[in-house]
Each structure stands twice: as C-alpha cells, then as structure tokens.
Amino acid sequence: MFDRPTSTAERKAFYERIDQHNLAPLWEVLAGLVIPQPKSACVPAHWHYDGIRDYLLEAGRLISAKEAERRVLILENPALRGQSSITHTMYCGLQVILPGEVAPSHRHTQSALRFVIEGEGAYTAVDGERVTMRRGDFIITPSWTWHDHGNPGIEPVIWMDGLDIPLIQMLDASFAERLDEETQPVTQPEGDALHRYGANMLPVDWEPTTKTSPVFHYPYERSRETLERLAKSGPVHPARGIKMQFINPASGGFAMPTIGAFIQLLPKGFKGTPEQVTDGTIYNVVEGHGRTTIGDRTFAWSPRDVFVAPSWLPVVHEADDDAVLFSYSDRPVQKMLGLWRSSVV
C-alpha cells in the first residue's frame, strides 16, 4: 500500500549519521508497519497428542511437580521458538500431575485457563475452592487469584494450560507471589461458585468486584449437552458449526478480560466454508476426527490434539464423525479495542 522510496547514496549517508542518535527514518519502514491486512509471523502448527504424552510422562520421571513449580511442556509456535508463545499474545502448555503430587499455591497477574485432557482425580483450587478436574472441563484461574493443584487420585492427570503470558509481557505488567503454605486453605465446599453464580441466578444484592467471571468451572457435561441439543434444533453455521463462547454470567461478556474461550460441535460429515478472524486461535480436539485447513496447511486431527491458526489465515473445518473443538484466543481484547474482524457475518 505504501511505496518504499528509492535509495540514494545521500539518503544512506544521512541514515547512518542519525543512526548514532537512535533515530530512524519512518519512510524506510512504513510499508512493513502499516500493512493492508494482517500477515502474522506465526505459522499454523499441529501437535499430535500421542507424541507429547510420552514426553510428558518422561518429564514426570525427570522432575517433580513441586521442584518444577509447574511440570509443563510449552507448545511453541515454530516461528516463535524461544518465546514461550503459541501466538503473539497467547501461551499454551500441557501440564501433568502425578498421583500424590501437589503444585504449590501462587498467584500472578497473568490469567490462565485449564482444559482437562486426560485422567481423573486431580483438583485445582482457585481462591479457596477446589474443583475436581474431569475430561473436557473448562476451568479459569483469573488474574491475581491464588491457585494450586493436587492429585490425590491414582492416575496421572493431564491438562492444557492457556495463558496470556506474551500479552502481559508486552505490557510489562507482570506481578507474582508465592503463598507461604504449599496448599491454600479451603474455605468453600466444592461446587459452591457454580451453584451460587452459575445457575442463571445471582445472590440478591451481589455486585461484581472484578472483571472476571465469579464462576470458575464450566463442566463439560453441561457444555456437551447444550451442543447436542443445539445441533438437533439448528441452525448449523456454515463455517463454525454450532459454536458457543464461555461467558461471565454476571456481565454476559467473556469469562476473563484477556482470554476468550469457545466450544463448537461440527456434525458428522461437516464441510465448512472458510472463515478468517483477527484473533490467532488455539484449538484442542475434545471428540471426533477431522481436518482443518489453515492457509495452505491441512491438519488431520484426533482427540486431544492441539493446533493453532494464526490471525487472518482462512480456516476450514471438516468432520468425519461428530466432532467437538475447544478453542481460545485474545478475542476479548480485540473486541474491547474495537479491532476484531471476521470475514463471515
């Protein structure tokens, strides 16, 4: 859109002189800064679960959850190696906790989500309430909430962590602290928040005190039933299938201000139309088999796989059987700033 001026010896000499004063000419770089449409440095990528699972269990023999603080393998975008990023704003990792282990209590300004992939019997505690993690559950750990994990069960439990680490790093707004005790005190019975705030009611006179959802556990059982019913009654969106966003029931907005999370059902035989969105999106396959084409790459996925679609590359989903995809992105940030765009309405 913007043309780069021709280079002359006189201009080059000028650039060299001003360079010593930490000055640079905008007209030489403008074309790369303000581009007509997003062209992400991130690339599409796919991680097969089976391969990662072996490495996670190997990590389990190498280091304890306590020593590691969190025993996680980071899924790094191949174009952003070394940056702990799966997109420019989002982090993704797979965490394993073995029977008898605890991951100590801490809090930080980064927001986190957990999406449970395998195993049962572990809990995560968020600000005084524990929740037993079950496959497909979506759990949030909002900014500055105390959180720890434990596994009193008999099998390894594995989940996907999604955090806004790169975004908070860019803003230079990271604060963190450890709790003195390893495990935070439990002050509420299990399920309290879900019943108090997540049953289409709120306690009378209740007022929000934070920008995040008072519900922190979104059980898969509930989301799956909703998808099932809506798939029967339709309409099925040509690009998205049946796609829902997880909300803060007190505001109707996203569950957390920096990370949006979604769950979608692609009915058996679904062949989607292309959609472009400005939020680079991380997917986790919950059920089913299919393929997603992202730009010029096609990934054939199975349950528990992770794949990432960078901003604005056309995404096309196809499903061989009834498939359920969980996903997350920085959509709330983009929407709040009036930046979010989709090629589909």
The site for ligand 1HN (CB under 6 A) is made up of 70, 72, 93, 95, 103, 110, 112, 147, 161, 163, 165
CB of 165 to ligand 1HN, least distance (A): 6
Q: Please tell me the distance from the alpha carbon of residue 289 to that of residue 228, in angstroms, as a whole number.
A: 17
Q: Please tell me the distance from the alpha carbon of residue 272 to that of residue 142, in angstroms, as a whole number.
A: 33
Written as one letter, the residue type at 110 is: Q
Of the pair 216, 301, the CB lying nearest ligand 1HN is at: 216
Residue 34 Ramachandran class (φ > 0 left, ψ -120 to 50 alpha, else beta): beta
CB of 230 to ligand 1HN, least distance (A): 32
CB of 96 to ligand 1HN, least distance (A): 11
Could you tell me which residues come within 8 angstroms of residue 97 by beta carbon, excluding any fewer than 6 positions away? 65, 71, 103, 122, 149, 150, 151, 156, 157
CB of 49 to ligand 1HN, least distance (A): 18
Of the pair 133, 266, the CB lying nearest ligand 1HN is at: 133
Per-residue tokens: 343? 């090629």
Q: Please tell me the distance from the alpha carbon of residue 64 to that of residue 70, in angstroms, as a whole number.
A: 9
Of the pair 64, 302, the CB lying nearest ligand 1HN is at: 64
CB of 93 to ligand 1HN, least distance (A): 6
Q: How many CB atoms lie within 10 A of CB 82?
A: 6
Identify which of 177, 216, 185 has the alpha carbon closest to the alpha carbon of residue 198: 216
Of the pair 60, 241, the CB lying nearest ligand 1HN is at: 60
Of the pair 112, 323, the CB lying nearest ligand 1HN is at: 112
CB of 105 to ligand 1HN, least distance (A): 9
Of the pair 135, 317, the CB lying nearest ligand 1HN is at: 135
